[in-house]
A and B are shown apart, each in its own frame.
Chain A
Amino acid sequence: MIHSLFLINSSGDIFLEKHWKSVVSRSVCDYFFEAQERATEAENVPPVIPTPHHYLLSVYRHKIFFVAVIQTEVPPLFVIEFLHRVVDTFQDYFGVCSEPMIKDNVVVVYEVLEEMLDNGFPLATESNILKELIKPPTILRTVVNTITGSTNVGNQLPTGQLSVVPWRRTGVKYTNNEAYFDVIEEIDAIIDKSGSTITAEIQGVIDACVKLTGMPDLTLSFMNPRLLDDVSFHPCVRFKRWESERILSFIPPDGNFRLLSYHVSAQNLVAIPVYVKHNISFRDSSSLGRFEITVGPKQTMGKTIEGVIILSQMPRGVLNMSLTPSQGTHTFDPVTKMLSWDVGKINPQKLPSLKGTMSLQAGASKPDENPTINLQFKIQQLAISGLKVNRLDMYGEKYKPFKGIKYMTKAGKFQVRT
């Protein structure tokens, strides 16, 4: 399956290589560089590149290309999903996944990669198991290791590997037993010129941070499980229980994990919590354009909208913009033509607006299209789909855990066409 892995940074240096079968020369990456050149933007580099003897499958995250070398037929998603899992694991181990971080921890990275694949086939990808095999580096552990001579490498097979709950390590102990669940919903929407919704859907996830002693068995029930018509689960969730009772029953992994992700599709009506009024006009004759946008709340169920950021890619012909915001700060980058306006909170009494003029390239014709506005925002304590957790129960352990649930709604890919 996966023959080798190369990590390539944005300037085109191969800064790590790992081979699981015989060594593949790094010159194979030349094909990748070629494709990268052709694509101009990192985002447009094709994920699958054929070369005469190999196939290069790549993933681009955190400004690093993870390039896997394949020799024979394999489901491409298999490799891509695995590469993403590698990145997630690094993030989990080191907090951030960046080039300096990987370089600093090259030995741990190597050990982890060694455990994740055997002969190119995934061996252990569950973070709970990996962390038992190779402990993540912490300052304290480094100090202790230097003094006592102990190591970061476990010498016993992680118990999870063999058990029926491979995602959970055994012997977990906490003094404060707590379980937190974050219900986070993102609205993906396209709003057209006149303010009507073209398409809107909600992508939700329930992220959990569970720190419970022993082998707790949790059940989580919802007030309105009917909303969740398309879900995907962490392997720990018992599918059958869900099918029959619409209850999430599971033995959680230790630590942070994504319990569930769901999708409330375009067929349901989705409440759009903000509106954007815009008046952007270019005139053929003059070299000045008018620009005015206002944002305001709508269907927010009484919650405040915060963290509002507006991003807009202006047409190439725009040279500069002179704008005055009623609140927040704005910047316009004349090179990338990116306008960003950090609005902050929306006060319904005094709607934030951004007004001013654009100066256009002299002589250039007026752009065909007005720019699209990309919106980011956050609403605390609200799940826009209306999903509500009913209760969380724990079986199998005697103590009383502390439980917490948090809701949040965010803008996902939220676009307003103007």
Chain B
Amino acid sequence: MSSNSFVYNEQSGGGEAAELGQEATATISPAGAFGLFSSDLKKNEDLKQMLESSKDSAKLDAMKRIVGMIAKGKNASELFPAVVKNVASKNIEIKKLVYVYLVRYAEEQQDLALLSISTFQRALKDPNQLIRASALRVLSSIRVPIIVPIMMLAIKEASADLSPYVRKNAAHAIQKLYSLDPEQKEMLIEVIEKLLRDKSTLVAGSVVMAFEEVCPDRIDLIHKNYRKLCNLLVDVEEWGQVVIIHMLTRYARTQFVSPWKEDGGLEDNEKSFYESDDEQKEKTDRRKKPYAMDPDHRLLIRNTKPLLQSRNAAVVMAVAQLYWHISPKSETGIISKSLVRLLRSNREVQYIVLQNIATMSIQRKGIFEPYLKSFYVRSTDPTMIKTLKLEILTNLANEANISTLLREFQTYVKSQDKQFAAATIQTIGRCAANISEVADTCLNGLVCLLSNRDEIVVAESVVVIKKLLQMQPAQHGEIIKHMGKLLDSITVPVARASILWLIGENCERVPKIAPDVLRKMAKSFTSEDDLVKLQILNLGAKLYLTNSKQTKLLTQYVLNLGKYDQNYDIRDRTRFIRQLIVPNEKSGALSKYAKKIFLAQKPAPLLESPFKDREHFQLGTLSHTLNIKASGYLELSNWPEVAPDPSVRNVEVIELAKEWTPAGKAKKENPSKKFYSESEEEEDSSDSGSDSESESGSESGDDGASSEDTSEDSEDSSNEQESENGSVAEDKAATKRNPETKGESDSEDGEKKNKKSQTSDSSNVESSSIEESSSESESQSENESESRKVTKEKEKKLKQDRISLTKDVSLLDLDDCHSAAHG
């Protein structure tokens, strides 16, 4: 029976069973008798039987068909009891498909869904990590409020699991639980805090994602993990990188002072930073260099740089926005090359990237100018890409390249895509407005376009010419006359309205034409568009005021027509104008000023980029793309005027230092370890070309099961790296921040180290400075400083030799030297 009804269902059910044909063929038999009456119910009967059969193959077939139904959006919820029984199936594929089903329907069948919970609880203890992980995944995806405590327990356990894969799933589960029951927030934050400390690259992206979703304002949780995240970044999977970079951008904007002031604050807000910082600087320190970048700030900028080479467009964009928002302006330039590379990608990627470039190119033309030609438009580009490219070309236009650009625009104007041609005309107008040298050329070019055959082109030209003429002192009587003649041929309302407005505005300069135009328009008044009618009224009013002898009757005729127009706007306007210009006893004092009111000097329109107002959104975000604040958008805060205490990020170092064996020993070990790790790096194939050296590799490989010793080891060494360059700057900054406490000892320390770095050859400069910075940060813990004295003394001898050199070095940014050597 089952097979019979099944056959018919296939036919009646249309396509839904068709795609399952392959699996189904086994059960098909010659057509049955009662197919006609078969319904969905019957068919599901059949599925139910299959699910209850003892054969796995039948169950699997049934599940596949059910999944097919889900995929098509068909309702399969009534099979719930039958399906849920199979949740404990031994066959892994059946189990997987049951999971799919459960996640889809558990919300609707909460009571029945509870039947499956015990299976998952058992699976959470399974020795196979994949099974543990997928059990957690499904358990947390079942949106049934009753099991919240069970989920909470499972997440807590999983977050301590030995397998990083399970911990990753725990991080995902946090978000699911949070959306199911926001009450759990506090408990979840605890778990997040714990997972943030995790050293596995697998977990990092997911937990930061959870952080962003659950408690993005708890910036304090990041402090201690900041350096670790920076160092792990290159090895995290690409999706995690995007999330982490966005989070760190926000973090940097709250924790570091602005690096932009060096460039001489072009914008107002920067200027204010500049001043405030000056004050602060005066209070604390009076060094020649006004600004020293926090080494942690530098660390972030440096560690994200290699990611510009990522194959993933989202990662490249994330790094680009990070550079844009937090790096010194002199370094932002490197992102342009990578962004231009993305333009080769799919149209969707192009679209987003071009939008972001458009915003950037308003503020900083310079960085995209070398790539001007990459934004040239191809006839095969979709219109939305064309207009974006045009936008960027306009932003990049300057005196030097405008002639090339105008030649290029000439081609675009002739494009068969008229929408694009119109946009090009707008663009030419903007170029003319922005670059005074070519204003006349552009104007002439636009006037030539007035004789174009295509109406849209002509109309757009008229509108743009109107704007341009408005901006310039009127010496263009000829053009206005020419346009007056065009009124006979142009039918596009906007263009007609523009011409009328222009004539009205300049009616004294074209005294012969203006009244005649009004005469013609009065004739056709009733058949004009509303927009044009309003302008006819305006023209009449202006002529009445300047040349009432010739136009009095004409204006009154027009006003009468307007009085009985269908559109109330026009009736309103008519009434208003009549009261104002035609003197009678009722008209008040205003009519004396009618001429001033109508023929006042009007401010020229500002032709500016539509991307101008997107600046305040963080680049690369959905909100920026839409130019609307999307829900869940997190504002990028302004730079703080005074950097918050940077030592909050140090905490881990102190902890480690306490656990560490005598510091003197550590000190000795450092150089040798460095050496070792470098040699290791050659062999360590796994280290995916990361900038952070093999330490980070070993860290990522570390399953959390490694001995304490080694993890400490890697931690410490990565910390060395963290503060690598800019360590010199750091001690300067440190002195600046709390001069009374540790100014002296620190800087002394630093100098000594610097001198040491001089002793080693150039290739070692970096590593020795690493050492120095780590020692520097260590010295902030008190118990450390004691033991350090021993080493200090040794090095004092060396110090005396090289005092002179020290100062030079302290001004150099070691990283820059390093990269310059490669570049």
Asked if A111 lies at the interface with its beta carbon under 8 angstroms from chain B, I say yes
Query: Which of B220-228, B232-240, B254-262, B735-743 faces chain A?
Result: B232-240
B297, CB-defined interface residue at 8 Å: no
B309/A231 in contact, CB under 8 A: yes
Q: Does residue B327 face the partner (Cβ distance < 8 Å to A)?
A: no
Name the interface residues of B641-699: CB closer than 8 Å to any CB of A: 681, 685-691, 693, 697
What does the 1/0 interface line of B48-68 toward A look like (CB < 8 Å)?
000000001100100010011
Given contacts A157-B130, A230-B341, A261-B311, contact A82 B71 (CB under 8 A): no
Query: A151 to B91, Cβ gap below 8 A?
Result: yes
Residue-wise interface mask of A (17-43) relative to B, using a CB-CB cutoff of 8 A (1 in contact, 0 not): 111011100100000000000000101
Question: Are A111 and B96 CB-contacts (below 8 A) given A15-B72, A413-B378?
Answer: yes
Minimum C-beta distance from A235 to chain B (A): 6
Whether B130 pairs with A82 at a CB distance below 8 angstroms is no
Contact (A81, B312) CB under 8 Å given A14-B73, A106-B19, A190-B376: yes
Q: Are A198 and B688 in contact (CB under 8 A)?
A: no
Residues 366-418 of A contacting B (Cβ, < 8 Å): 367-369, 372, 374, 395-396, 413, 415, 417
Partner of B97 from A107, A190, A244, A316 at Cβ < 8 Å: A107
User: Who on chain B is nearest to A114 by CB?
Assistant: B100
Given contacts A55-B622, A241-B689, contact A155 B130 (CB under 8 A): yes
Residue A152 CB within 8 A of the other chain: yes
Contact B626 A48 (CB under 8 A): yes
Q: B620-631 toward A: CB 8 Å interface, digit per residue (1/0)? A: 111101101011
B176 & A119 in contact (Cβ 8 Å cutoff): yes
CB proximity of A199 to chain B, nearest CB, Å = 4
Contact partner of A110 (CB less than 8 A), chosen from B71, B237, B246, is B71
Q: Determine if B729 is an interface residue (Cβ-Cβ < 8 Å).
A: no
Q: Can you name the residue of chain B whose Cβ is closest to the Cβ of A40?
A: B383
- The answer, among B96, B306, B347, B622, for a CB contact under 8 Å with A75, is B622
Alpha-carbon separation in the docked complex, A41 to B143 (Å): 40
Which chain A residues lie closer than 8 Å to B130 at the CB level? 154-157
Give a binary string over B689-725; 1 marks a CB under 8 Å from any A CB, 0 the rest: 1110100010011010000000000000000000000
| A155 with B622, Cβ < 8 A, contacts A50-B628, A107-B64, A190-B378 known | no
List A contacts of B309 (CB < 8 A). Answer: 231-233, 239
Q: Does A166 contact B (CB under 8 A)?
A: yes
B533 sits at the interface (CB 8 A): no
Q: Contacts of A368 on B, CB cut-off 8 Å?
A: 414, 416, 452-454
B630 touches A153 (CB 8 A): no
Known contacts A26-B73, A75-B317, A415-B378; decide if A164 and B686 are in contact (CB<8 Å).
yes
Binds B, one of A263-271, A287-295, A327-335, A348-356: A263-271
The interface-forming segment of A65-73, A175-183, A206-214 is A65-73
Query: Is A374 a contact partner of B688 (Cβ separation < 8 A)?
Result: no
List A contacts of B107 (CB < 8 A): 22-23
Q: Does B548 belong to the interface (CB within 8 Å)?
A: no
Interface residues contributed by chain B, number (CB under 8 Å): 119
Q: Is B129 an interface residue (CB 8 A)?
A: yes
Nearest CB on A from B120, distance (A): 15
Interface residues of B in 59-104 (CB under 8 A from A): 60, 64, 67-68, 70-73, 91-93, 96-97, 99-100, 104
Does B443 touch A at the CB level, under 8 Å? no
B806 on interface, CB distance cutoff 8 Å: no
Residue A11 lies at the interface, judged by CB distance under 8 Å to chain B: no
- Distance (Å) between the CB of B73 and the closest chain A CB? 5
Our pick among B22, B71, B681 for the contact of A17 (Cβ within 8 Å) is B71
By a CB distance below 8 angstroms, the chain A residues around B100 are: 110-111, 114
- B626: contacting residue among A50, A81, A229, A232, CB under 8 A: A50
* A202 nearest CB across to chain B (Å): 11
User: Quick one: given A47-B348, A244-B822, are A106 and B689 in contact (CB under 8 Å)?
Assistant: no
B371 touches A265 (CB 8 A): yes
Query: Taking the nearest CB of chain A, how far is it from the CB of B533, in angstroms?
Result: 29
Q: Do the beta carbons of A59 and B242 come within 8 Å of each other?
A: no
Verify if B351 is at the interface (C-beta below 8 Å from A).
yes
* A77 and B691 within 8 A (CB): no
Q: Does B567 contact A (CB under 8 A)?
A: no
Q: Which one, A109, A230, A250, contacts B338 given CB within 8 A?
A: A230
Judged by a CB distance under 8 angstroms, whether B265 is at the interface is no
Asked if B67 and A251 sit within 8 Å, CB to CB, the answer is no
User: Within 8 Å of chain A (Cβ to Cβ): is B172?
Assistant: yes
CB neighbours of A107 from chain B (8 A)? 64, 67-68, 97
Bound Cα distance from A69 to B691, whole angstroms = 36
Beta-carbon contact of B352 and A80 below 8 Å: yes
Instruction: Tell me, yes or no, whether B403 is within 8 Å of chain A by CB.
Output: no
B137 at the interface (CB under 8 A from A): yes
Please state if A104 and B19 are interface contacts (CB–CB under 8 Å).
yes
Q: What's the minimum C-beta distance from B311 to chain A, rounded to whole angstroms?
A: 5
**Complex: chain A residue closest to B171, CB-CB:** A121
Interfacial chain A residues near B175, Cβ < 8 Å: 119, 121
Please give, as numbers and ranges, the residues of chain A lying within 8 Å of B56 by CB-CB distance: 149
- Distance (Å) between the CB of A412 and the closest chain B CB? 8
Cross-chain contact B621 with A75 (CB below 8 angstroms): yes
Check B237–A166 contact: CB distance below 8 A. yes
A-side contacts of B378, CB under 8 Å: 190, 413, 415
In the bound complex, how far is the Cα of B633 from the Cα of A156, in angstroms? Answer: 39
**Interchain CB contact (< 8 A) of B246 among A75, A217, A238, A396:** A75
Cβ–Cβ contact A243 & B822, under 8 A? yes
Q: Is the CB of A315 within 8 A of B416?
A: yes
B380 touches A22 (CB 8 A): no
Identity of the chain A residue whose Cβ is nearest the Cβ of B70 in the assembled complex: A110
User: Is B73 in contact with A77, judged by CB distance below 8 angstroms?
Assistant: no
Q: Which of B586-623 contact A (CB under 8 A)?
A: 620-623
Name the A residues within 8 Å of B99 (CB-CB). Answer: 114
Shortest CB distance A309–B (Å): 14
Is B165's beta carbon under 8 Å from chain A?
yes
Q: List A residues 41-63 near B (Cβ within 8 Å).
A: 41, 43-44, 46-48, 50, 55, 58-61
A164 to chain B: which residues have CB within 8 Å? 235, 686-688, 697, 700-701
Q: Does B218 contact A (CB under 8 A)?
A: no
Residues of A within 8 A of B344 (CB): 188, 203, 263
* B376 adjacent to A81 (CB under 8 Å): no
Contact partner of A121 (CB less than 8 A), chosen from B140, B172, B179, is B172
**Residues A157 and B689 in contact, CB atoms below 8 Å apart:** no
A122 within 8 A of B: yes
Partner of A157, one of B97, B129, B238: B129
Contact A43 B621, CB 8 Å, known A75-B314, A75-B318, A161-B165: no
By the criterion CB–CB under 8 Å, are A235 and B688 in contact?
Answer: yes
With contact pairs A164-B697, A198-B373 given, residues A80 and B68 touching in the complex (Cβ less than 8 Å): no
Question: In the complex, A161→B337 CA distance in Å?
Answer: 32
Residues of B close to A236: CB separation below 8 A:
688
Tell me if A138 is interfacial: C-beta within 8 Å of chain B: no
Q: In the assembly, what is the distance between CA of A203 and CA of B677, in Å?
A: 37
A163 at the interface (CB under 8 A from B): yes
Binding site for B on A (CB under 8 A): 1, 14-19, 21-23, 26, 41, 43-44, 46-48, 50, 55, 58-61, 70-78, 80-82, 84, 103-104, 106-107, 109-111, 114, 118-119, 121-123, 125, 142, 146, 149, 151-157, 161-166, 188, 190, 192, 198-199, 201, 203, 215, 217, 229-244, 249-251, 258, 261, 263, 265-267, 313, 315-316, 365, 367-369, 372, 374, 395-396, 413, 415, 417
Interchain Cβ contacts under 8 Å between A and B, 25 examples: A16-B71, A46-B351, A55-B630, A60-B347, A72-B630, A73-B621, A73-B623, A76-B625, A77-B353, A81-B313, A111-B100, A119-B141, A153-B96, A230-B337, A232-B311, A235-B310, A238-B687, A238-B690, A239-B309, A239-B689, A240-B691, A240-B693, A313-B379, A369-B416, A417-B411
Closest 6 CB pairs of A and B: A238-B689, A72-B632, A239-B689, A164-B686, A151-B93, A369-B414
Q: Give me 9 other A-B pairs in contact (C-beta within 8 A), A44-B384, A368-B414, A374-B379 excluded.
A: A18-B71, A48-B625, A50-B630, A76-B625, A121-B175, A153-B93, A238-B687, A265-B337, A413-B380
